[in-house]
Chains A and B, each alone.
Chain A
Amino acid sequence: MRTYLYHPLTRLWLVLLLATVLSWYLGSDGPVTSRQAGVLSAVSILAVAIVKCRLVIRNYMEVRYAPSWLQWTCDAWLLLNFGMVSSFYWFAI
Protein backbone atom coordinates (compact mmCIF):
# COMPACT_ATOMS: atom_id res chain seq x y z
CA MET A 1 0.00 0.00 0.00
CA ARG A 2 2.89 2.30 0.77
CA THR A 3 3.89 2.57 -2.91
CA TYR A 4 0.49 4.06 -3.71
CA LEU A 5 1.21 6.96 -1.38
CA TYR A 6 3.86 8.26 -3.80
CA HIS A 7 1.18 8.70 -6.47
CA PRO A 8 0.46 12.25 -7.81
CA LEU A 9 -2.93 11.98 -6.08
CA THR A 10 -1.08 12.32 -2.76
CA ARG A 11 0.78 15.41 -3.97
CA LEU A 12 -2.58 16.94 -4.83
CA TRP A 13 -3.79 16.12 -1.30
CA LEU A 14 -0.85 18.13 0.05
CA VAL A 15 -1.81 21.10 -2.15
CA LEU A 16 -5.42 20.86 -0.95
CA LEU A 17 -4.23 20.66 2.65
CA LEU A 18 -2.13 23.80 2.26
CA ALA A 19 -5.05 25.59 0.58
CA THR A 20 -7.26 24.62 3.56
CA VAL A 21 -4.68 26.06 5.97
CA LEU A 22 -4.65 29.26 3.87
CA SER A 23 -8.45 29.63 3.95
CA TRP A 24 -8.50 28.90 7.70
CA TYR A 25 -5.86 31.60 8.19
CA LEU A 26 -7.84 34.07 6.06
CA GLY A 27 -10.98 33.28 8.06
CA SER A 28 -9.35 33.74 11.45
CA ASP A 29 -7.93 37.10 10.54
CA GLY A 30 -9.17 38.91 13.66
CA PRO A 31 -11.75 41.68 13.73
CA VAL A 32 -12.77 43.18 10.40
CA THR A 33 -11.34 46.70 10.15
CA SER A 34 -13.43 47.98 7.25
CA ARG A 35 -16.22 46.84 4.95
CA GLN A 36 -13.79 46.65 2.04
CA ALA A 37 -11.33 44.49 4.01
CA GLY A 38 -14.19 42.21 5.10
CA VAL A 39 -15.43 41.76 1.53
CA LEU A 40 -11.92 41.12 0.24
CA SER A 41 -11.32 38.52 2.95
CA ALA A 42 -14.66 36.77 2.24
CA VAL A 43 -14.11 36.69 -1.53
CA SER A 44 -10.53 35.39 -1.05
CA ILE A 45 -11.82 32.55 1.16
CA LEU A 46 -14.49 31.78 -1.45
CA ALA A 47 -11.92 31.78 -4.27
CA VAL A 48 -9.71 29.30 -2.38
CA ALA A 49 -12.74 27.04 -1.73
CA ILE A 50 -13.75 27.15 -5.43
CA VAL A 51 -10.19 26.30 -6.55
CA LYS A 52 -10.14 23.38 -4.09
CA CYS A 53 -13.51 22.14 -5.45
CA ARG A 54 -12.19 22.35 -9.01
CA LEU A 55 -9.02 20.41 -8.13
CA VAL A 56 -11.11 17.62 -6.55
CA ILE A 57 -13.61 17.57 -9.44
CA ARG A 58 -10.95 17.48 -12.16
CA ASN A 59 -8.44 15.16 -10.51
CA TYR A 60 -10.10 12.95 -7.91
CA MET A 61 -13.39 12.70 -9.83
CA GLU A 62 -11.37 12.48 -13.08
CA VAL A 63 -13.51 15.02 -14.89
CA ARG A 64 -10.36 16.24 -16.69
CA TYR A 65 -10.50 13.00 -18.71
CA ALA A 66 -14.29 13.16 -19.21
CA PRO A 67 -16.23 14.40 -22.27
CA SER A 68 -16.12 18.17 -22.65
CA TRP A 69 -19.85 18.61 -21.81
CA LEU A 70 -19.16 17.33 -18.30
CA GLN A 71 -16.08 19.54 -17.91
CA TRP A 72 -18.11 22.58 -18.99
CA THR A 73 -21.03 21.66 -16.72
CA CYS A 74 -18.76 21.39 -13.67
CA ASP A 75 -16.95 24.63 -14.49
CA ALA A 76 -20.29 26.40 -15.05
CA TRP A 77 -21.47 25.21 -11.63
CA LEU A 78 -18.29 26.50 -9.98
CA LEU A 79 -18.64 29.83 -11.78
CA LEU A 80 -22.31 30.04 -10.79
CA ASN A 81 -21.43 29.58 -7.12
CA PHE A 82 -18.51 31.99 -7.23
CA GLY A 83 -20.59 34.64 -9.01
CA MET A 84 -23.60 34.21 -6.76
CA VAL A 85 -21.75 34.24 -3.42
CA SER A 86 -19.18 36.90 -4.30
CA SER A 87 -21.89 39.22 -5.70
CA PHE A 88 -23.71 38.91 -2.38
CA TYR A 89 -20.63 40.06 -0.48
CA TRP A 90 -19.74 42.80 -3.01
CA PHE A 91 -23.20 44.29 -3.55
CA ALA A 92 -25.81 43.05 -1.09
CA ILE A 93 -24.27 43.89 2.30
Chain B
Amino acid sequence: MMEALCAIFLRDLKIAFRAGGGAGVGVVFFLALVTVVPFAVGPDMPLLGRIGPAMLWIGALLATLLGLDRIFSADREDGSLDVMMLSAAPLELIAAAKGAAHWVATGLPLTVAAPLFGLLLGIEPAALGTVTLTLLIGTPAITFLGLIGAALAVALPRGGLLVAVLILPLTIPVLIFGVAASAGVGPVPFETSLKFVAALTLFALVLGPVASAVALRHIRQ
Protein backbone atom coordinates (compact mmCIF):
# COMPACT_ATOMS: atom_id res chain seq x y z
CA MET B 1 0.00 0.00 0.00
CA MET B 2 2.85 2.39 0.86
CA GLU B 3 4.36 1.63 -2.51
CA ALA B 4 1.16 2.65 -4.28
CA LEU B 5 0.96 5.92 -2.32
CA CYS B 6 4.62 6.75 -2.97
CA ALA B 7 4.07 6.01 -6.65
CA ILE B 8 1.11 8.42 -6.79
CA PHE B 9 3.08 11.12 -4.97
CA LEU B 10 6.12 10.80 -7.23
CA ARG B 11 4.09 10.55 -10.41
CA ASP B 12 2.13 13.74 -9.63
CA LEU B 13 5.38 15.55 -8.84
CA LYS B 14 6.96 14.36 -12.07
CA ILE B 15 3.97 15.49 -14.12
CA ALA B 16 3.86 18.86 -12.35
CA PHE B 17 7.49 19.64 -13.18
CA ARG B 18 7.32 18.46 -16.81
CA ALA B 19 6.26 20.72 -19.66
CA GLY B 20 2.71 21.92 -19.20
CA GLY B 21 2.55 20.56 -15.67
CA GLY B 22 1.89 23.95 -14.15
CA ALA B 23 4.31 23.86 -11.21
CA GLY B 24 6.01 27.09 -12.27
CA VAL B 25 2.82 28.94 -13.11
CA GLY B 26 1.98 29.54 -9.45
CA VAL B 27 5.31 31.21 -8.70
CA VAL B 28 5.12 33.38 -11.82
CA PHE B 29 1.58 34.44 -10.93
CA PHE B 30 2.76 35.16 -7.37
CA LEU B 31 5.59 37.31 -8.74
CA ALA B 32 3.22 39.18 -11.06
CA LEU B 33 0.86 39.94 -8.19
CA VAL B 34 3.63 41.11 -5.88
CA THR B 35 5.14 43.27 -8.62
CA VAL B 36 1.87 45.01 -9.33
CA VAL B 37 1.14 45.99 -5.71
CA PRO B 38 3.86 48.73 -5.40
CA PHE B 39 2.60 50.30 -8.63
CA ALA B 40 -0.92 50.41 -7.26
CA VAL B 41 -0.02 51.60 -3.77
CA GLY B 42 2.60 54.13 -4.80
CA PRO B 43 6.17 54.76 -3.60
CA ASP B 44 5.29 54.82 0.09
CA MET B 45 7.89 52.50 1.63
CA PRO B 46 6.55 52.42 5.22
CA LEU B 47 3.05 51.64 3.96
CA LEU B 48 4.34 48.91 1.64
CA GLY B 49 6.37 47.40 4.47
CA ARG B 50 3.28 47.39 6.66
CA ILE B 51 0.92 45.76 4.15
CA GLY B 52 3.68 43.60 2.62
CA PRO B 53 3.09 40.44 4.68
CA ALA B 54 -0.64 40.60 3.92
CA MET B 55 0.12 41.00 0.21
CA LEU B 56 2.45 38.00 0.29
CA TRP B 57 -0.25 35.94 1.98
CA ILE B 58 -2.96 36.99 -0.50
CA GLY B 59 -0.58 36.29 -3.38
CA ALA B 60 0.29 32.86 -2.01
CA LEU B 61 -3.38 32.09 -1.39
CA LEU B 62 -4.46 32.99 -4.92
CA ALA B 63 -1.46 31.27 -6.50
CA THR B 64 -2.24 28.09 -4.59
CA LEU B 65 -5.87 28.13 -5.69
CA LEU B 66 -4.63 28.38 -9.28
CA GLY B 67 -4.51 24.92 -10.75
CA LEU B 68 -6.02 23.27 -7.71
CA ASP B 69 -9.03 22.10 -9.71
CA ARG B 70 -6.85 19.85 -11.88
CA ILE B 71 -5.80 17.59 -8.98
CA PHE B 72 -8.55 15.05 -9.62
CA SER B 73 -10.16 16.13 -12.88
CA ALA B 74 -7.01 15.50 -14.95
CA ASP B 75 -6.94 11.93 -13.67
CA ARG B 76 -10.64 11.52 -14.28
CA GLU B 77 -10.38 12.68 -17.89
CA ASP B 78 -7.72 10.15 -18.85
CA GLY B 79 -9.17 7.27 -16.84
CA SER B 80 -6.39 6.89 -14.29
CA LEU B 81 -8.72 7.83 -11.43
CA ASP B 82 -10.65 4.61 -12.11
CA VAL B 83 -7.46 2.57 -11.88
CA MET B 84 -6.48 4.33 -8.64
CA MET B 85 -9.81 3.33 -7.15
CA LEU B 86 -8.93 -0.33 -7.84
CA SER B 87 -5.69 0.02 -5.91
CA ALA B 88 -5.41 -1.59 -2.50
CA ALA B 89 -4.77 1.84 -0.95
CA PRO B 90 -7.82 3.61 0.51
CA LEU B 91 -9.11 6.60 -1.43
CA GLU B 92 -8.56 8.89 1.58
CA LEU B 93 -4.81 8.21 1.54
CA ILE B 94 -4.67 8.48 -2.25
CA ALA B 95 -6.23 11.95 -1.95
CA ALA B 96 -3.71 12.83 0.76
CA ALA B 97 -0.79 11.68 -1.43
CA LYS B 98 -2.08 13.77 -4.32
CA GLY B 99 -2.55 16.76 -2.03
CA ALA B 100 0.99 16.40 -0.68
CA ALA B 101 2.41 16.24 -4.21
CA HIS B 102 0.43 19.32 -5.19
CA TRP B 103 1.75 21.22 -2.18
CA VAL B 104 5.37 20.29 -2.92
CA ALA B 105 4.88 21.38 -6.52
CA THR B 106 3.10 24.69 -5.78
CA GLY B 107 3.01 25.62 -2.08
CA LEU B 108 6.66 24.89 -1.35
CA PRO B 109 8.07 26.95 -4.27
CA LEU B 110 5.81 29.84 -3.19
CA THR B 111 7.20 29.63 0.33
CA VAL B 112 10.76 29.56 -0.93
CA ALA B 113 10.11 32.53 -3.22
CA ALA B 114 8.30 34.57 -0.56
CA PRO B 115 11.37 36.12 1.16
CA LEU B 116 12.76 37.11 -2.23
CA PHE B 117 9.52 38.66 -3.40
CA GLY B 118 9.11 40.30 0.02
CA LEU B 119 12.13 42.46 -0.80
CA LEU B 120 10.12 43.97 -3.65
CA LEU B 121 7.59 45.11 -1.07
CA GLY B 122 10.21 46.55 1.28
CA ILE B 123 9.42 44.19 4.16
CA GLU B 124 11.84 44.28 7.14
CA PRO B 125 14.28 41.32 7.32
CA ALA B 126 12.80 40.07 10.60
CA ALA B 127 9.29 40.20 9.19
CA LEU B 128 10.52 38.36 6.07
CA GLY B 129 11.53 35.46 8.30
CA THR B 130 8.22 35.28 10.10
CA VAL B 131 6.09 35.57 6.97
CA THR B 132 8.06 32.75 5.35
CA LEU B 133 7.60 30.62 8.45
CA THR B 134 3.84 31.23 8.52
CA LEU B 135 3.58 30.48 4.81
CA LEU B 136 5.48 27.22 5.31
CA ILE B 137 3.09 26.19 8.05
CA GLY B 138 -0.08 27.69 6.55
CA THR B 139 -0.02 26.87 2.81
CA PRO B 140 -0.59 23.12 3.33
CA ALA B 141 -3.94 24.06 4.89
CA ILE B 142 -4.94 25.89 1.70
CA THR B 143 -3.93 22.97 -0.52
CA PHE B 144 -5.68 20.37 1.60
CA LEU B 145 -8.86 22.40 1.96
CA GLY B 146 -8.65 22.82 -1.79
CA LEU B 147 -8.74 19.03 -2.21
CA ILE B 148 -12.39 19.16 -1.16
CA GLY B 149 -13.28 21.67 -3.85
CA ALA B 150 -11.23 19.78 -6.43
CA ALA B 151 -13.13 16.58 -5.62
CA LEU B 152 -16.52 18.30 -5.74
CA ALA B 153 -15.75 19.85 -9.12
CA VAL B 154 -14.11 16.73 -10.55
CA ALA B 155 -16.79 16.18 -13.18
CA LEU B 156 -17.06 19.80 -14.29
CA PRO B 157 -15.11 20.77 -17.40
CA ARG B 158 -14.46 24.36 -16.22
CA GLY B 159 -14.30 23.88 -12.50
CA GLY B 160 -11.40 26.21 -11.77
CA LEU B 161 -13.29 29.30 -10.74
CA LEU B 162 -15.90 27.26 -8.89
CA VAL B 163 -13.19 25.58 -6.81
CA ALA B 164 -11.70 28.97 -5.93
CA VAL B 165 -15.09 30.36 -4.91
CA LEU B 166 -15.93 27.25 -2.87
CA ILE B 167 -12.62 27.14 -1.06
CA LEU B 168 -11.85 30.81 -0.50
CA PRO B 169 -14.28 31.22 2.45
CA LEU B 170 -12.79 28.16 4.16
CA THR B 171 -9.29 29.61 3.93
CA ILE B 172 -10.18 32.91 5.62
CA PRO B 173 -9.23 31.72 9.15
CA VAL B 174 -5.83 30.59 7.83
CA LEU B 175 -5.37 33.97 6.19
CA ILE B 176 -6.37 35.91 9.33
CA PHE B 177 -4.00 34.08 11.66
CA GLY B 178 -1.27 33.76 9.05
CA VAL B 179 -1.17 37.51 8.44
CA ALA B 180 -1.55 38.28 12.15
CA ALA B 181 1.43 36.08 12.98
CA SER B 182 3.65 37.36 10.17
CA ALA B 183 2.85 41.06 10.59
CA GLY B 184 3.03 40.99 14.36
CA VAL B 185 -0.14 43.07 14.50
CA GLY B 186 -3.46 42.50 16.16
CA PRO B 187 -4.43 41.76 19.74
CA VAL B 188 -2.92 38.25 19.89
CA PRO B 189 0.81 37.56 20.35
CA PHE B 190 2.93 35.97 17.62
CA GLU B 191 3.14 32.49 19.13
CA THR B 192 -0.61 32.24 19.60
CA SER B 193 -1.33 33.15 15.98
CA LEU B 194 1.32 30.74 14.77
CA LYS B 195 -0.20 27.95 16.86
CA PHE B 196 -3.60 28.73 15.38
CA VAL B 197 -2.16 28.46 11.86
CA ALA B 198 -0.56 25.13 12.77
CA ALA B 199 -3.82 23.89 14.26
CA LEU B 200 -5.79 24.90 11.17
CA THR B 201 -3.25 23.08 9.00
CA LEU B 202 -3.51 19.90 11.07
CA PHE B 203 -7.29 20.16 10.87
CA ALA B 204 -7.16 20.58 7.08
CA LEU B 205 -4.69 17.68 6.70
CA VAL B 206 -7.31 15.37 8.21
CA LEU B 207 -10.52 16.93 6.88
CA GLY B 208 -9.35 17.48 3.28
CA PRO B 209 -8.54 13.88 2.31
CA VAL B 210 -11.54 12.40 4.15
CA ALA B 211 -14.05 14.89 2.72
CA SER B 212 -12.65 14.69 -0.80
CA ALA B 213 -12.78 10.87 -0.74
CA VAL B 214 -16.44 11.05 0.27
CA ALA B 215 -17.11 13.54 -2.52
CA LEU B 216 -15.26 11.44 -5.13
CA ARG B 217 -17.13 8.26 -4.19
CA HIS B 218 -20.44 10.05 -4.28
CA ILE B 219 -19.84 11.77 -7.60
CA ARG B 220 -18.52 8.63 -9.28
CA GLN B 221 -21.78 6.97 -8.36
Decide whether A and B assemble into one complex.
Answer: no
A residues engaging B (CB < 8 A)? none
B residues engaging A (CB < 8 A)? none
